[in-house]
């Protein structure tokens, strides 16, 4: 039974009529055309579909649309318009942290979620903060360097 759900998506209020059990991932990708969020496993293991819901990193394949009433949802499409994204974008490029790119939007959202809570993390905290996001290409070292670099260069942004 479809229901109306109102929430804030990338800073703008939206109301959708959807099956409450529909996955947020499908709402974003199929209904709203926000394809920057990726589906890698559909079971909350890989983090390719990570978005930020009410300030917390969440795998959108595990979030039911019906649970979003009154929530705030941020995806890569909104975050890429910010200054903090530009800091992370440069740091990722400088570190060589992007290979196939499929994990990248989720990894960026995880980096943002981490830096909001801990603006000056050490390497261990970065590894912990990204541990829900799998990457099969890089071996993670260059991604960790990117986040540390962003924290330093973007000091004061988070």
Partner 1 sequence: MKPDAVILAAGLSSRAGANKLLFPLGGRTVIEASIEPFLSTCGRIIVVGGARFEELKSALARLSPGVEVVLNDDYLYGMFSSVKAGIRRVGSDRFFIHPGDCPLVPASVPERLLSVRADIVLPVSGGRTGHPVLIDSRLIPEILATDAGSNLRAFIASHGFETVEVDSPGILLDIDTRGDLEKAERNLSREQGRTVADALARSVPKVDNPEKLSGRAGYIADMPFPGMLHAKTVRSTRPRARILSIRLPEMPGGYFTVDRNDIPGRNRVHVILDDQPVFAEETVNYIGEPIMLVVGPSKAKVLELASAVRIEYGDLAAVFTVEEAEASGAPIVGGENNRFAEYRYGRGEATRVIGEAASGVSGSRVFADEISTGYQEHVYLEPQGLVGLYDRERDRIEIHGSMQCPYYIRNALAIAFGWEPGRFRVVQTCTGGGFGGKEEYPSLLACQAAAAAYKTGKPVALILDRAEDIECTTKRHPARIGFRTAVDPEGRVTAMEVEVRLDAGASLGLSGVVLQRTMFTAPGVYRVPNLAVHGVALATNSVPAGAFRGFGAPQATMAIEIHMDHIASSLGMSPLEFRKRNMARKGDLTSTGGTYAFDVPLEALAERVIASSGYRAKRVEYASACLARGTTAACNGLAPLRGIGMSFFLHGCGFTGSGERDHIKAKVRLARREDGTVDILAANTDMGQGLLTTFRKIVASALGLPLERVSFEKPDTDRVPDSGPTVASRSIMIDGKLLEDAAIELKSRWDEPGEIVVERNYRHPDRIRWDDSSFIGDAYPTHSWGVNIVEVAVDPVSFEITVTGVWAAYDVGHAVDERIMRGQVEGGILQGLGYATIEVMEKSGGRLKQRTMTDYVIPTSLDAPPIESSFIDNPYPDGPMGAKGAGELPLVGAAPALASAVENALQARVSRIPLTPEYLMKAVRHAG
Q: Point out which residues bind partner 1 (CB under 8 A).
A: 29, 33, 35-43, 45-46, 48, 75-77, 80, 85, 88-89, 92-94, 96, 98-105, 108, 126-128, 130-144
- When the beta carbons of 6 and 141 are compared against partner 1, the nearer one is 141
**Nearest approach, Cβ of residue 4 and partner 1 (Å):** 21
- The SS3 of residue 16 is strand
Do residues 77 and 32 touch, judged by C-beta distance below 8 A? no
- When the beta carbons of 9 and 130 are compared against partner 1, the nearer one is 130
Query: Mutual orientation of helices 83-95 and 104-117 as an angle, nearest 10°?
Result: 120
Largest pairwise CA distance in the chain:
49
- When the beta carbons of 58 and 138 are compared against partner 1, the nearer one is 138
CA angle, 123 as apex, 73 and 113 as ends, to 5°?
Answer: 5
CA Rg, the chain, in Å?
15
**Nearest approach, Cβ of residue 45 and partner 1 (Å):** 4
**Nearest approach, Cβ of residue 105 and partner 1 (Å):** 4
**Nearest approach, Cβ of residue 3 and partner 1 (Å):** 18
């Amino acid at each position: 039974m479809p229901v109306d759900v109102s929430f804030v998506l990338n800073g703008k209020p939206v109301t959708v009529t959807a099956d409450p059990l529909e996955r947020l991932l499908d709402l974003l990708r199929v209904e709203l055309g926000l394809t920057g969020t990726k589906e890698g496993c559909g079971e909350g293991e890989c983090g390719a579909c990570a978005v930020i819901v009410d300030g917390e990193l969440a795998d959108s394949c595990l979030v039911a649309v019906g649970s979003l009433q009154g929530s705030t949802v941020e995806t890569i499409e909104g975050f890429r318009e910010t200054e903090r994204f530009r800091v992370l974008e440069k740091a990722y490029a400088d570190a060589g942290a992007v290979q196939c790119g499929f994990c990248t939007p989720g990894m960026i959202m995880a980096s943002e979620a981490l830096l909001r809570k801990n603006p000056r993390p050490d390497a261990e905290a970065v590894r912990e903060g990204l541990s829900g996001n799998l990457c099969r290409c890089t071996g993670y070292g260059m991604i960790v360097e990117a986040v540390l670099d962003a924290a330093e260069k973007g000091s004061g942004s988070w």
